[in-house]
Amino acid sequence: MSEIEGRAFSLLTQDGGARRGRLHLAHGDVETPCFMPVGTSASVKGLTPAELVEARTQIVLANTYHLWLRPGLETLEAAGGLHRFMAWERPILTDSGGFQVFSLECRRRLDDGGVTFASHLDGTEHRFTAENVVEFQQRIGSDVAMVLDVCVKLPAPREQLEEAVRLTSAWARRSAAAPSRAETVLFAIVQGGLDPELRERSARELVELDFPGYAIGGLSVGETREEMHECARATAALLPDAKPRYLMGVGTVRDLVAAIDCGIDLFDSVYPTRCGRNGRAMTHAGELNVFNARYVHDPSPLDPLCDCSTCTTYSRGYLAHCFRAKEMLGPRLLSYHNVYFVNGLMCEARAAIERGKWTAFRLAPGSATAI
- Residues serving a catalytic function are 95, 268
Give me the residues paired with residue 189 across strands: 215
- Please tell me what DSSP assigns to residue 155: S
> Which residues in the chain belong to E strands, given as ranges?
4-5, 9-15, 18-25, 28-32, 34-37, 60-63, 92-95, 108-111, 114-118, 125-129, 144-146, 185-190, 213-216, 245-247, 266-269, 280-283, 286-289
**DSSP one-letter code for 281:** E
Spatial distance between the Cα atoms of 325 and 318, rounded to a whole number of angstroms: 10
- Asked if 299 and 315 count as a contact pair (C-beta separation under 8 A), the reply is yes
Q: Are 169 and 208 in contact (CB under 8 A)?
A: no
Question: Rounded to an integer, what distance in angstroms lies between the CA atom of residue 237 and that of residue 66?
Answer: 32
Rounded to the nearest 10 degrees, the angle between the axes of helix 225-236 and helix 253-261 is 30
**Whole-angstrom distance, CA of residue 107 vs CA of residue 101:** 8
| H helix count then E strand count, the chain | 15, 17
DSSP, collapsed to helix, strand or coil, labels residue 46 as coil
Q: How far is CA 139 from the centre of its chain?
A: 21
Cα separation, 81 vs 88, in Å, equals: 11
Q: Residue 209 class from Cβ within 10 Å (0-12 exposed, 13-18 middle, 19+ buried)?
A: middle
In terms of C-beta density within 10 A (0-12 exposed, 13-18 middle, 19 or more buried), how is residue 218 classed? buried
Report the half-sphere exposure of 362 (CA within 13 A, side-chain side): 20
